[in-house]
Amino acid sequence: MDQTDTRESEPRYNPFTGQRIVPGLDDAMPASAALGLEPPRFCEHCGRRMIVQISPDGWWAKCSRHGVIASAQSERR
């Protein structure tokens, strides 16, 4: 099994609610997140709560296991 197959079978988590994403089921998203006004609060890879810093020009979020993501990276400024 190559690494691509492993990543596809790993569970994913909603970055705004922290709930596990189950294929075929609706995943509720807060209205502010849908509008791009809310930074992610949970890691998409493990579901852990992240440290989030918001500034006038963007935001960054840090997972203790998976590192930092920023609004500049995801183009959500």
* pLDDT for 76: 54
pLDDT, tens digit, 9 for 90 and up, residues 4-60: 444 567 899 999 999 999 888 887 788 888 887 889 999 999 999 999 999 998 999
**Range list of H helices, 16-75:** 31-34, 71-74
- Strand spans (E) along 1-77: 12-13, 20-21, 51-55, 58-63, 67-70
Q: Which residue type does 71 have?
A: S
CA-closest candidate to residue 14, choices 67, 56, 38:
38
